[in-house]
Amino acid sequence: MNFVDQVALVTGASRGIGRAIAVEMAKQGADVAIVGRDRAALQETADACVHARVGANAHVIIADVADQKAVEGSVNETVERFGRLDFAIANAGQSIDSLLLRLKPEVLDQMLSVNLKSAFYLTAAVAKPMMKQRSGAIVLISSIAGLSGNVGQAAYAASKAGLIGLCKSTAKELGSRNIRVNAVAPGYIETAMTESMADAHRDFLIQHAALGRAGTPEDVSGVVSFLCSKAAGFITGQTLVVDGGILI
């Protein structure tokens, strides 16, 4: 995979899977725009990109992905700085667990805004420069919860399932302009977001994974890099499960 002279935008790039994706794209030669709200954490990601490849160009953008204007501004800033935009990865996400009967409306709204609406905003915004280029790849980070559901995660699972529908529909809409849209559905990945998971639940997931281990952010970032590459040039509208074999 060689992304030299190409540009990637990654949301939720301050830590975890998003950071790993940004570093992997930079390692493969891309200039990277990293988007999030935590400037210090994003700068750490930018430094990691430079460490991964001498001369890597990582541009920090502070934005709330739940704000449509902020997302559009991030895309415009990326194009203005680098002159093009080849890859967009909608990784920003949040999980707030709650049983359905205890689910507060504001929590539902937050899950849909951060996990789903932000991806709508990003996809629509990046489609414009990509259509002009007549090329591009978009990757949406979903979850196996969006495929199988999970007790106490109705809002989270619904938002992640929505990304799969968004992927399929936009792949059909944008395919004629040579823009591919795919999704990745990670399983249990060891990140800051999963640190609070109960030990019993963590052990259950690992025991039910065919590979018998938890995943790492790098397990996901390599798949995202593949989906952006020419090697995946005839793949669109698909959801790749990266869960170590939990769902099989």
Q: pLDDT tens for residues 124-155?
A: 999 999 999 999 999 999 999 999 998 889 99
Q: pLDDT tens for residues 81-118?
A: 999 999 999 999 988 888 898 999 999 999 999 999 99
- Phi, psi (degrees; rounded to nearest 5) at 67: -105, 115
Q: Which of 166, 62, 76, 61 is nearest to 112 (CA)?
A: 166
Domain contains 247: no
The whole-number pLDDT of residue 201 equals: 77
CA distance linking residue 86 with residue 135, whole number of Å: 7
Domain of residue 177, CATH code: 3.40.50.720
Q: Which residues are catalytic?
A: 156
The whole-number pLDDT of residue 30 equals: 98
CB of 123 closer than 8 Å to CB of 172:
no
Number of separate domains in the chain: 1
The whole-number pLDDT of residue 198 equals: 73
Provide the b/e sequence for 53-63 (b: ≥16 CB within 10 Å). Answer: beebbbbbbeb
Domain contains 1: no
CA distance linking residue 17 with residue 97, whole number of Å: 20
Domain contains 15: yes
Domain contains 2: no
The whole-number pLDDT of residue 119 equals: 98
Expressed as residue numbers, the domain containing 110 is: 7-242
Domain contains 238: yes
CA distance linking residue 16 with residue 193, whole number of Å: 8
Give the bridge partners for 90, in sequence order. 140
CA distance linking residue 204 with residue 188, whole number of Å: 10
- The parts of the chain modelled with pLDDT lower than 50 are none
Domain contains 124: yes
Domain contains 248: no
CA distance linking residue 157 with residue 97, whole number of Å: 10
Domain contains 50: yes
Read off the pTM.
0.95
Q: In 62-193, which residue ranges form alpha helices assigned H by DSSP?
A: 68-82, 105-111, 118-133, 145-148, 154-174
